[in-house]
Amino acid sequence: MTTLYLIRHGQSTANIKHIIQGQSDYPLTALGEKQASLAAKYLKNIKLDAVYASDLSRAYQTADMITEPHALKPQPEEDLREVFLGPLQGRARASVVKDYPELNHRSFVTSGIPGTETFDSISMRCLNLVQKWQRDHQGETIMAVSHGGFISIFLMYLIAGDGWHHWNRPFLIENTGITKVYFDEMGQAKIHFSNNTSHLEEL
């Protein structure tokens, strides 16, 4: 069995300004660093065998802070990046919704708007990660720090496979929200919990 902790990055400078990030690179805010520090405290007694992180700054910074008590260095992983959102990236949410009114009722990361990452590309990233982790980490506990949109899609993929994009993003993943997944001996994923933010209660 493989145990996976999925964690969203802390608050970024784009989050606080309601800017759509996609694969654009933004660092953590002071609050984001505090969130990561509290997540590190919450997870410090869990024995981790490996840590992976999106190579975008907001995720890698978060992973670096969380892994400090474990004396581990996060392994950068491009497949953990946020969904590429092309023409939407770097724009204020209000402006995008004005130009694409369908996004009032549809998640940005599952919109399929021309110029954004294709569903097939996202599915392949999910498959690559599942196969890699099951192959390399049998009997181990690992952590992956990623992004709200991609973590949501990854969970949908574990349930629905390539048909995940027919769902309208039922998972809410907040900054440093912690999700726990088991992969059993048959490779079946079991979602234990998602978006645990109890470590942030003291904020």
Binding residues for substrate: 8-15, 58
**Encoded tokens for 75:** 């392994």
Residues 6+ apart with CB under 8 A from 101: none
- Please confirm, yes or no, whether 82 is among the known catalytic residues: yes
Q: Residue 4 forms beta bridges with which residues?
A: 142, 181
Identify whether the C-beta of residue 78 lies closer than 8 Å to the C-beta of residue 60.
no
Give the DSSP letter string of 38-104. HHHHHHTTS--SEEEE-SSHHHHHHHHHHHGGGT--PEE-GGGSPPP-GGGTTSBHHHHHHH-GGGG
Annotated binding site: 8-15, 58
Collapse the DSSP code of 199 into the 3-class scheme (helix H, G, I; strand E, B; otherwise coil) and give the result.
Answer: helix
How far, CA to CA in Å, does 127 sit from each of 65, 70, 96, 154? 27, 28, 30, 9
Q: What angle do CA 114, 17, 169 make, to 5 degrees?
A: 45
- Please identify which of the residues 70, 78, 82, 185 carries the catalytic annotation: 82
Q: Does the active-site annotation cover 9?
A: yes
- Cβ atoms within 10 Å, residue 8: 28
Cα separation, 95 vs 28, in Å, equals 23
Catalytic residue annotation: 9, 82
